[in-house]
């Protein structure tokens, strides 16, 4: 499963990561401050608008057995998200730490918005390949190989054979890839909840410009 091929750093620990063959592809929910740095490592930071992030995270919690949240209510989950009380901490602390880190760092970090990847997957893949360099940069020069990567990376393809992502026994339903796209939050939020999150977003992200992102995706 992909969770073993490309493991979460904070789940498997340093000894496991050190034993992996290079080059390694690792995942993490670490903030910028907590992310191990140095050497020739490159980082891809992908971010999604907070309303769809909250909604996706809600379904993630309901599906993973370890959370014991199969019957969890959206209203309670919304309040936990708003107060930064969920696993991996506060969404806005995390986002702001990486924005600040990217501004202060060299060219070892690639910043991507989920919505941009959905809108133009091909361009996102080319951007990632050029950023990684080496064999990835060479691969995209072959049009047939590039098309295979694009085809395998769309939501429809990723919904197939989902045991690739996580072992079946860890989930209530074999739906790790659920929906994709944007604005599914409209099927869950009340108008009052939407306004509360809009206001929190403005308060927490006004200084770095992020509050101007996602106007269409977050509009009621």
Q: Of the listed 29, 59, 172, 191, which one is catalytic?
A: 29
Model-wide pTM > 0.85:
yes
Residue written as tokens 């970090």?
A: 109
191-205 and 50-63 helices, crossing angle to 10°: 120
| Ordered domains of the chain (ranges, CATH) | 46-89+114-218 (3.40.50.300)
Assigned token pair, 92: 């806005």
> For the segment 143-178, what is each residue's pLDDT rounded down to a tens digit?
999 999 999 998 787 777 667 766 777 776 656 656
> For the segment 15-25, what is each residue's pLDDT rounded down to a tens digit?
999 999 989 99
pLDDT computed for residue 37 by the predictor: 87
Assigned token pair, 104: 């202060």
**Contact in structure between 28 and 161 (CB atoms under 8 Å):** no
**Rg over CA atoms, the chain:** 18
pLDDT along the chain (220 residues), means of 10: 82 92 93 90 96 94 86 96 94 96 87 96 98 96 97 82 70 67 93 98 90 93
What gap in Å lies between CA 89 and CA 73, rounded to an integer? 19
pLDDT computed for residue 177 by the predictor: 58
Assigned token pair, 154: 């769309």
Residue 60 among the catalytic residues: no
**Beta-bridge mates of residue 46:** 112
pLDDT computed for residue 38 by the predictor: 80
DSSP three-state, residue 175:
coil
């Amino acid at each position: 499963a992909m969770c073993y091929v490309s493991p979460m750093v904070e789940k498997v620990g340093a000894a496991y990561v050190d034993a992996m063959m290079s080059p390694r592809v690792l995942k993490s929910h670490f903030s910028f401050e907590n992310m191990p740095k140095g050497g020739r490592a490159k980082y891809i930071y992908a971010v999604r608008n907070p309303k769809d992030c909250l909604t996706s995270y809600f379904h993630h919690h309901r599906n993973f057995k370890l959370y014991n949240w199969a019957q969890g209510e959206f209203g309670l989950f919304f309040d936990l998200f708003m107060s930064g009380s969920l696993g991996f901490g506060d969404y806005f602390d995390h986002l702001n730490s990486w924005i600040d880190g990217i501004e202060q760092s060299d060219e070892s970090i690639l910043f991507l918005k989920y919505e941009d990847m959905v809108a133009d997957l091909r361009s996102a893949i080319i951007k990632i390949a050029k950023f990684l360099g080496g064999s990835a940069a060479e691969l995209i020069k072959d049009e047939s190989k590039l098309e295979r990567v694009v085809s395998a990376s769309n939501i429809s393809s990723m919904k197939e054979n989902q045991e690739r992502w996580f072992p079946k026994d860890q989930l209530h339903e074999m739906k790790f890839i659920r929906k994709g796209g944007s604005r599914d939050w409209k099927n869950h939020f009340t108008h009052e909840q939407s306004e509360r999150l809009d206001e929190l977003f403005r308060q927490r992200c006004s200084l770095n410009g992020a509050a101007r992102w996602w106007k269409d995706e977050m509009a009621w």
